[in-house]
Amino acid sequence: MPPLESALAIESVRLDDANSAIILLDQTLIPVETKYLTLTTQEQVWEAIYELRVRGAPAIGIAAGFGLYLAAKNIAAGLSAGAGFDAFYPLFVKAKEYLASSRPTAVNLFWALDRLDACAKQNAHLPLADMISALRAEAVAIKDEDEQMCKSMGEYGLTLLKPGMGLLTHCNPGTLATARYGTATAPMYLGQERGYDFKVFADETRPLLQGGRLTTFELQSAGIDVTVICDNMASIVMKNGWVHAALVGCDRVAANGDFANKIGTSGVAILAKHYNIPFYVFAPTSTIDLNCATGDDIHIELRNPDEIKTKWYARPMVPQDVKAYNPAFDVTDHSLVTAIVTENGIAYPPFSESLPRMMSPK
């Protein structure tokens, strides 16, 4: 694999409209290989989201937006000349529902699909070709807005940090998971540009090792001092005084500030509370679900037990017939959260009051 100047140069999801395709970096192969996939069917887009070839809530939303736009483009092309919205829309909804079934937890998936649905309805009076152009513009806007949101979160997040700090993160809240900069990694990248000299500890993050495979790959390529640790080592690095703040991303934030992130995040938050370390959540407003009252209302995805038992090993590491519990996410209680950083500002407790204020630009 050729060396990269910086992971910020990577475009993990992009639209190839001329060939009616999505070009997508297969994150399951990093760091061994950087391979781009060309997705031209709805089944391929669904599989890429489900199998975590594209992952991270914002990147999933971007891929879903492009996927539904391409579905709309193909639906319109398959209709008879002169066909209108009434013939188009039922097929469009079917494609939307199919893509929505790929992952149940990341709210950005549904948010992006709903944005395109709303766009289709708003332009229902137009000829189909013009409505398809509007859908394309909306899908591209989702990606462009995400890059700006991540940059803004980075600026706000940097105000919470000081040069030379030791930071701990969990899973991959990075540029691979977004349009650019990442969520919780955004202040790390901006700090690197400004000489903050952060020292980052990246949990390997079981069961898919996204911290070990992806976060370290990103940060090292950008010249950031990063050390990978196993998930059960977070306590000792905190106790040693090497961690001054914990920064994580998320897949869904409830109205009370409870949030879902990759499995193991809740444990990090509990440890940070014990060691009196601030715990910051980075959440674009597209990830905040005010219709979800508490974390109890967040559906937690269960994945294939083989991801624990065999996936990363040449030979099975546990008895073949033993039961395995493999949730993809856990929910961290809002009482453990110091602040939630959004693109519109920093929300502090009580989150039931501060999060609604974050939903619109100041």
| Domain of residue 300, CATH code | 3.40.50.10470
The reported pLDDT for the residue numbered 286 is: 87
Query: Which has more pLDDT, 257 or 5?
Result: 257
Q: What angle do CA 238, 242, 248 make, to 5 degrees?
A: 65
Query: Could you give the dihedral angle defined by the CA atoms of residues 209, 212, 218 and 221, in that order, rounded to the nearest 10 degrees?
Result: -150
The reported pLDDT for the residue numbered 1 is: 37
Do 346 and 267 share a structural domain?
A: yes
The reported pLDDT for the residue numbered 4 is: 42
Do 142 and 187 share a structural domain?
A: no
Domain edge (last residue) among 149, 179, 207: 149
Q: Quote the tokens at residue 116.
A: 């395109």
Do 291 and 198 share a structural domain?
A: yes
Residue 263 has pLDDT above 50, yes or no: yes
Do the beta carbons of residue 54 and residue 12 sit within 8 Å?
A: yes
Query: How many whole angstroms separate alpha carbon 110 and alpha carbon 60?
Result: 10
Residue 33 has pLDDT above 50, yes or no: yes
Binning pLDDT at 50, 70 and 90, where does residue 6 land?
low
24 found inside a domain = yes
Q: How many domains does the chain have?
A: 2
Domain edge (last residue) among 91, 115, 149: 149
The reported pLDDT for the residue numbered 34 is: 87
Residue 269 has pLDDT above 90, yes or no: yes
176: left (phi over 0), alpha (psi -120 to 50) or beta: alpha
| Domain of residue 74, CATH code | 1.20.120.420
Q: What is the pLDDT of residues 119-156, one digit of tens each?
A: 999 999 999 999 999 999 999 999 999 999 999 999 99
Do 26 and 77 share a structural domain?
A: yes
Q: Quote the tokens at residue 205.
A: 């993050």
337 found inside a domain = yes
What's the burial of 118, exposed, middle or buried (CB within 10 Å: 0-12/13-18/19+)?
exposed
Among residues 115, 16, 3, the alpha carbon closest in space to that of 68 is found at: 115
* 3-class secondary structure, 141: helix
Question: Any idea what DSSP says for residue 327?
Answer: B
Q: What is the pLDDT of residues 180-216, one digit of tens each?
A: 999 999 999 999 999 999 999 999 999 989 999 999 9
CB within 8 Å of 81: residues ≥ 6 apart: none
1 found inside a domain = no
The reported pLDDT for the residue numbered 82 is: 84
Do the beta carbons of residue 125 and residue 110 sit within 8 Å?
A: no
- β-partners of residue 261 are 330
Do 310 and 231 share a structural domain?
A: yes
| Mean pLDDT value across the chain | 94
Query: Does a cis peptide bond (omega within 30 degrees of 0) precede residue 127?
Result: no
Residue range of the domain that includes 260: 151-358
* Residue 289 bears catalytic tag: no
Binning pLDDT at 50, 70 and 90, where does residue 104 land?
confident
Do 256 and 117 share a structural domain?
A: no
The reported pLDDT for the residue numbered 9 is: 81
Binning pLDDT at 50, 70 and 90, where does residue 362 land?
low
Do 303 and 315 share a structural domain?
A: yes
Do 135 and 155 share a structural domain?
A: no
Rg (CA), the chain: 20
Lowest mean pLDDT among 111-125, 145-159, 306-320: 306-320
**Active-site annotation holder among 203, 251, 258, 289:** 251
